[in-house]
Amino acid sequence: MAKKLITTTAPGVYRFIGVDFNIGALKSAGKRYWMFVALLGIIITLGIVAWGTALANGGSVMAMRDNYPWGLWFTNYMYYVGLSAGGLIVYASVHLFGAEQFKPLSRLAVLQAGVLVMLALLGIITDMERPWRAVYMLLTPNGTSPFVYTGSAANIYMIICFVDLWVLITGFGGKKLAQRMTLIALPFAIYLHTTTAFVLSLNKSRELWNSAVMVPIFLTSATASGIALLLICAYIMQSIGVFKFASSMFRSLATLLATVIIIDLFLLLVEILSVFWPTSAKPGHVVRLEHFFTGEYAWAFIPVLILGIGAFVLLAGRKTRHLPAIQITASAMYVVAIFFKRYSLMAMGFSTNTLGQYSSPYFPSLVEVLIALGLLSVGLMIMTLSAKVLPLQVPEDEHDEEPAALGAGAEPVVEAG
């Protein structure tokens, strides 16, 4: 009788589309885990209620106005899209440049990137008073609008990330397919981040946006903040027992982070210098940017410089860069700094309108804050459940050139007559 291969899984593990979901692990989760999940569930519920209020009452419950047509949702869109860059950088380093020290992070990095882009897209949907009309952007796209390109790029990149995660977990296609997926994801990621920056820089009537440096600044700050968030996430996952990383991996991440931070700060300082230097200063630019140094917007922009420079100083010293407390502190500082930077970028176009009239700072309403917190909690919920359910730890023999592996969590193959 011909032999056939039978695969079995451990109790509580259910296989779907080739991935072993360890549902049984949820039963052994501790009290603190479920308290955190319950808290996220409450915040998500409040976010849904707030979104329902926005749908029922329209823009009247939002703090956005004629001078600020984009609010917290657009700040978060830029922020989440930027944060997703860290996952790609680490993943691409493994499969394109042979940075094997980052290999244990590959699945977590791709998952984080996909979830963050999903949150960015959900932010757009929750801002729409009639979200069901979003289909018209696909049916009748305006080729001159950068939103058409950044929106389509975000959708495609999100799908690529989740397909890529499936490839990494199942081992389908081996190392060759993983490398090809990287080659597909990399140009789409660059396309996504640059088109998001072009949404700002191609507005010639908004003087502080209309700068060619806007695109590289967006890319560097996105990469730095994304790497910083991934480092924090890796430490959290290690603390709850999902991973066990080598200290050398964290040192490599911290070194990479310090390198990108100094490039990001350099570009920002070059832009500031160009605005204020006497022989290059333009009255419109100077007046607008002064609001962010000495005016009502200084509360958002000055922390970008303080936290950014402080994070680099912490990581610059070789003797202290390897310390977990230094790495986590510097990463947290830069993640916060980039959020303020995204708000400042949004405000730089609206602080003074096209007629030269000053607009007081925008502060989101309670409805906007609850929607934003609800979306953030959705992302945290996905990551929290994935930490228990998904096989995120990378086996040593991952991406071998042999036929695809059975999938994480599978028992040895049994031959049956």
Q: What is the pLDDT of residues 27-81, one digit of tens each?
A: 878 888 899 999 999 999 999 999 999 999 888 889 888 888 888 989 999 999 9
Grouping H, G, I as helix, E, B as strand and the rest as coil, residue 9 is strand
First and final C-alpha spacing in the chain: 6
State the greatest distance between any 2 C-alpha atoms of the chain, in Å, as a whole number: 89
Point out which residues pair with 4 in neighbouring strands: 416
Region of poorest pLDDT, from 1-15, 375-389, 393-407: 393-407
Phi and psi, residue 118, nearest 5°: -60, -40
Q: What is the pLDDT of residue 417?
A: 34
- Determine the pLDDT at residue 9: 62
| pLDDT tens digit sequence for 162-198 | 998 888 888 877 778 878 888 888 888 888 888 888 8
Mean pLDDT of 80-94: 82
| 214-247 pLDDT per residue, tens | 889 988 999 899 999 999 999 998 888 777 888 8
3-state SS record for 296-341: CCHHHHHHHHHHHHHHHHHHHCHHHHCCHHHHHHHHHHHHHHHHHH
Nearest CA-CA partner of 307 in 228, 223, 196: 228
| Whole-number pLDDT of residue 319 | 82
Of 89, 413, 364, 73, nearest in space to 230 by CA? 89
**Non-local CB neighbours of 77 within 8 Å, separated by 6+ positions:** 120, 123, 124, 196
At a CB cut-off of 8 Å and minimum separation 6, what does 340 contact? 300, 301, 303, 304, 307
CA angle 249, 254, 258 (to 5 degrees): 150
CB–CB of 372/49 below 8 Å?
A: no
Nearest CA to 163 out of 310, 331, 378, 17 is that of 17
Share of the chain above pLDDT 70, in %: 92
Query: Which pLDDT band, with edges at 50, 70 and 90, does 332 fall under?
Result: very high
For domain 4-253+370-408, say whether CATH 1.20.1630 is its number. yes
